[in-house]
Amino acid sequence: MKPIRQLAVVVNGDKPGAHELARELTALARWAGVKLRQTTRFPLPKEFLCRVDACCVIGGDGTLLGVAREAALEHIPIIGVNRGSLGFLTTFSADEARADFVQLLTGGFTLTHRSMLDCSTGPGAHDLALNDVLIKDEINSRLVRLEVFADGELVTEYYCDGLIFSTPTGSTAYNLSAGGPLIHPDAAVIAMTPICPHTLSNRSIIFREGVKLRVCNRSPGARLLVAMDGQRNLKVGVGTPIAISVSRRRLALAQRVGYSHFSVVRTKLNWSGGAAEAPKARP
């Protein structure tokens, strides 16, 4: 990859050790001759990511999600350094960042381009999500009746607590907690997972990349909440359908050379078991 000459640094000061790590990494960047800008503000200051080569996010996955939309719009790759818990998105540990940061700044990393969801709830109400779009009752957790269409064809009507529309990246987030499938980040699909459906046969459905989904509220008197990555909400007018599709935008996410997705999944989810022993030859 190209060397990084101008770097934006986003620090979540609420994470233990984040400020100290930021001081160490920015010192390395200055030593390497990289120009810096830094913030702890959320949402990001206006045009904070303009005219930089990359953005280093020091925090947890939630911190990175708060930057993802702007980074995708500006075509800026994100280097995620984990100071949170799981860290599926912030793929560099603090120790890895300290050891490899100068090499990263010289282009010693690979990029994966993660798909995002485009969601619209009416004119002027539009947003992008890296992980998921959640649709539920606006006020409480009462059951809602939601009708789903794919490319104009009725899929089914759900009576449930809500629906999660997930990217492959977001399959390890709320989708997984709700019983949805794990999906490799390179798969070009959308996962739709109902939350506590009132019918035992309702399970996740996987849609192809080019699908145009539409969700209609069939619960009289209920207003819906549409949450983007659990951080931003879109308003929904009464009777207005919610449109969801895979965006043309992608998020460029930096990974160390030799990064293994399944190695990360095994570690983060505490999967047990090793490679099966080869069967012994019969005498």
List the chain domain ranges: 6-109+256-268, 116-248
120-130: average pLDDT: 93
254-277: average pLDDT: 76
127-152: average pLDDT: 94
Using the 8-state DSSP alphabet, how is residue 239 labeled?
Answer: T
Whole-number pLDDT of residue 282: 54
Sign for the CA dihedral angle at 129, 134, 140, 145 comes to positive
- Structure confidence by residue, pLDDT tens digits, 200-239: 888 999 999 999 999 999 998 888 999 999 999 998 887 8
Cβ contact 83:12 at 8 Å: yes
- Structure confidence by residue, pLDDT tens digits, 35-52: 999 999 989 999 999 999
Cβ contact 106:5 at 8 Å: no
CATH number of 6-109+256-268: 3.40.50.10330
pLDDT of residue 151 exceeding 80, the answer is: yes
SS3 42: coil
Q: Tell me phi and psi for residue 232, to 5 degrees.
A: -130, 140
All residues at 6 or more sequence positions from 261 whose CB lies less than 8 Å from its CB, including other chains = 184, 185
SS3 205: strand
Q: Tell me phi and psi for residue 131, to 5 degrees.
A: -95, -60
User: In percent, how much of the chain has pLDDT > 70?
Assistant: 96
pLDDT of residue 133 exceeding 70, the answer is: yes
Whole-number pLDDT of residue 270: 83
- Strand partners of residue 36: 7
Whole-number pLDDT of residue 222: 86
**How many other CB atoms are found less than 10 A from the CB of residue 94?**
18
Selecting among 61, 132, 161, 229, the annotated active-site residue is 61
Rounded to 10 deg, the angle between the 94-105 and 18-31 helix axes is 20
| Fold that domain 116-248 belongs to in CATH | Tumour Suppressor Smad4 (2.60.200)
pLDDT of residue 277 exceeding 60, the answer is: no
Q: Angle 48-53-57 (CA atoms, 0-180°, nearest 5)?
A: 60
User: In percent, how much of the chain has pLDDT > 90?
Assistant: 77
Give the residue among 106, 115, 133 at the shortest CA–CA distance from 253.
Answer: 115
Identify the residue with better confidence: 239 or 16: 16
The span from the CA of 84 to the CA of 115, in Å, is 23
Residue 73 Cα to chain centre, angstroms: 15
Does 61 qualify as catalytic in the annotation? yes
The span from the CA of 148 to the CA of 155, in Å, is 6
Whole-number pLDDT of residue 237: 80
Burial zone of 276 (CB within 10 Å; 0-12 exposed, 13-18 middle, 19+ buried): exposed
Q: Quick one: pLDDT band at residue 278, thresholds 50, 70, 90?
A: very low
